[in-house]
Structure 1
Amino acid sequence: MFRNVKLMVISALMVALVTVFTILIRIPIPGTQGYIHIGDVMIYSSSILLGNPAAFVIGGLGSAIADLLYYPHYALPTFIIKGIMGLITARILYRANGTLSMGRVVVAMVAGGVWMCVGYFIYETIVYGLAYGLAGIGFNILQSLGGAALTLPFIRTLLKLKDNLKK
């Protein structure tokens, strides 16, 4: 029972951190209604710490709350896209038993980031047109790679925290 409560509390804190990291530094993307942020750092971190399905809820809900504050029309697609981003990252990390290598973590973050870029491209192309969808691709790649790069120095610490959560 205590373990479940502990995981719920940590998950709630991670949702809040995704929201805060997303709105803390917002760089508007020219020609679109999107913005570059560092919220992906916390999505990747939650995927490493808690795995799935928590990574889906944390990534989706934390990012959607941030969008509700500034770009509410993006909240639902963001919930889906960022949730799946967290889920993909976690699924690759934990697809097989064994230790997590730095290489697997990098591959997982890249795969989650690729999904995020594809997801927003599809959404924006359907809703706003191909030119709009294409305009955001480079910025989404930049955000995804930036989030992964900022997460890398903390991976060893996150893995130690993950082991402590099992206790």
Structure 2
Amino acid sequence: MKQDNKLRLITLTAVFAALIYVLTAFIQVPTIKGYVHIGDSAVFLAASILPTPYAAAAAAIGAGLSDALSGYFIWVPATIIIKALTTVAFSGKSSGIVSKRNLFALIPALILCVGGYGLYSGLVIYNSIAAGFADAAANTVQIAASSIVFILVGTALDRSGAAKHIRAEAK
């Protein structure tokens, strides 16, 4: 029985990694230094459904692959760390996906995205903190859009009862 559960967790992790990749790589709005996407909504969903290590793996793999295969390879190290850390604030132990804790987790997700990418680009790419935070508005829009999608999809999954079935598979 324990082996069967592990296989379900690995399978759900792979499904979420693929979903994160697709929503990040194929639904993009270009910006000056990169692009805005809604892939973070799937990161938030994975983090609200899967145990943290599995959600972190899905986020790192899906978002990291998206950067690498979209021609933004320089961002891969930052993306892997930022997206994996983002999952830590969320919890799959609540009664629903859109729980009070998971709504509040959107705040550290915003801080990690804006701060993490700002520091990484400022220190590693541009050698200027000010230049690194020049794209902070685009990162804020990205998290806002992903948060809206997360709330809408999470609420639909909660109300339909599908979240309980997905979670049963993940536990």
TM-score normalised according to structure 1 size: 0.86
* Corresponding position of 1:6: 8
- Residues 32-111 of structure 1: matches in 2 within 5 Å? 32=33, 34-69=34-69, 70-88=71-89, 90=90, 93=91, 99-100=95-96, 102-111=99-108
User: Secondary structure of the equivalent of 2:52?
Assistant: coil
Give the Cα–Cα distance (whole angstroms) in 2 for the partners of residues 111 and 161 of structure 1. 28
Give the Cα–Cα distance (whole angstroms) in 1 for the partners of residues 109 and 95 of structure 2. 20
Given that 1:18 and 1:40 are in contact with CA atoms closer than 8 Å, whether structure 2 keeps it comes out as yes
Displacement of 1:19 in angstroms is 0.6
Q: Mind listing any 5+ residue stretches in structure 2 that lack a counterpart?
A: none
Deviation readout 1:109-150 (Å, 9 max, x if unpaired): 222222121111110110212232121111111101110111
Letter in 1 for 2:113: M
Residue among 29, 39, 44 paired with 2:31: 29
Distance 1:126 1:166, change over 3 A: closer
Displacement of 1:81 in angstroms is 1.1
Give the Cα–Cα distance (whole angstroms) in 1 for the partners of residues 80 and 153 of structure 2. 25
Given that 1:47 and 1:55 are in contact with CA atoms closer than 8 Å, whether structure 2 keeps it comes out as yes
Q: Mind listing any 5+ residue stretches in structure 1 that lack a counterpart?
A: none
Distance 1:98 1:67, change over 3 A: closer
TM-score normalised according to structure 2 size: 0.84
User: Secondary structure of the equivalent of 1:36?
Assistant: strand
User: Secondary structure of the equivalent of 1:73?
Assistant: helix
Displacement of 1:166 in angstroms is 5.1
Report % sequence identity: 24
Given that 1:110 and 1:148 are in contact with CA atoms closer than 8 Å, whether structure 2 keeps it comes out as no
Letter in 1 for 2:104: V
Aligned length: 160
Given that 2:40 and 2:146 are in contact with CA atoms closer than 8 Å, whether structure 1 keeps it comes out as yes
Give the Cα–Cα distance (whole angstroms) in 1 for the partners of residues 44 and 170 of structure 2. 19
